[in-house]
Chains A and B, each alone.
Chain A
């Protein structure tokens, strides 16, 4: 079956060899299928559109680089999301160091004046952006392993088995991490959630 006619009908495993050989149509279709979930996962780690897009780009580049070694033991989606999560976390660390430096330079007083204006979005999205910002703050206080597990499950809607596959851990560990992540998120958000 020729690629480019009926790409929508092809499964990932059929598109991947074409993408690996440089077929733009196949790459575009894979990108179309997974860009949103990849972006959302990256965004949950980074809380910033530009950085999340950078992480998605980084992840797709890495995935393409290693496509020839992809053996299909897991689905392309779970494989890609692992790369996305790692790219986002790496970017977050680098960004964290940059922000630490720039915030130090700004000084505490200026920083407090600036924070209310960060992440503003127009219209009705403003409240949602504020909520998202708070949730991100709370999420960032979770241990990395719990944060990663929770985001992959809650945002990418991966099953326990898929999360286990992505992170190379047991399903029991996924259960445990999700449970404790929820407990901590609830505790941290408790006061705020009651206002909702």
Chain B
């Protein structure tokens, strides 16, 4: 059924969800779309049922809003933040309740930041004022594990990884086999031309889906 005579009727279900989320509120440029959606809702029980399902899901979500931690938990957390000297540019060894683990996590974050800085630099999008945070040198960081399956990245290289991390150019990496290598039954055989280029991260297609 085409309630408006428009060939594109009905609107896409994503638009209905956006309408439900209030994305059309106060948007003068979307008045026509909003009117079409409201016409659709008035005419189509299926669309109304869809909206009702959204409401149920929202209600369910709100019903399960986590309880706020006790006041003392907030106070302890704030105290740890206040005692953390990171604002002075150095890392705290005692910032958290699991200090050694925290330190490792912060270092891992710093390593990620270093990597991101290298990637941005090489992709030509880095700003002049973005420099790697000087937490550790490349020789002090060993990457033991890379979560590749859900990061939208293609990881090529052999772990553990230590040393400079650079983007490689097309042709620098040859994937010899996608089968697990015999030596560790894990990492596929990869040939990387030239020294000092042990890893490549490239955004994989379909990352958004």
Residues of chain A touching chain B, judged by Cβ–Cβ distance below 8 Å, are 19-22, 24, 27-28, 31, 35-36, 39-40, 43-44, 49, 52-54, 56-58, 60-62, 64-67, 69, 90-91, 93-94, 121, 125, 128, 131-132, 135, 143-145, 153-155, 159-160, 169, 173, 175-180, 182, 185-186, 189, 193, 196
A69 CA to B108 CA, complexed, in Å:
19
Partner of A65, one of B56, B77, B86, B105: B86
Is A159 a contact of B95 with CB atoms below 8 Å?
A: no
A49 CA to B73 CA, complexed, in Å:
10
What residue in chain B is nearest A43 (Cβ atoms)?
B66
A176 in contact with B150 given A53-B77, A56-B77, A131-B60 (CB within 8 Å): no
A20 CA to B80 CA, complexed, in Å:
16
Partner of B69, one of A39, A60, A90, A196: A39
Partner of B14, one of A22, A66, A175: A175
Tell me what chain A mostly uses at the interface: helix, strand, loop, or mixed: helix
25 A–B contacts, CB within 8 A, in A order? A27-B81, A31-B77, A35-B77, A39-B69, A44-B66, A49-B69, A49-B73, A54-B96, A57-B81, A61-B81, A61-B92, A61-B95, A62-B109, A67-B87, A90-B108, A131-B64, A135-B61, A160-B18, A175-B18, A178-B21, A179-B17, A182-B17, A193-B56, A193-B60, A196-B60
Is B77 a contact of A57 with CB atoms below 8 Å?
A: yes
Partner of A22, one of B53, B87, B106, B207: B87
Is B64 a contact of A169 with CB atoms below 8 Å?
A: no
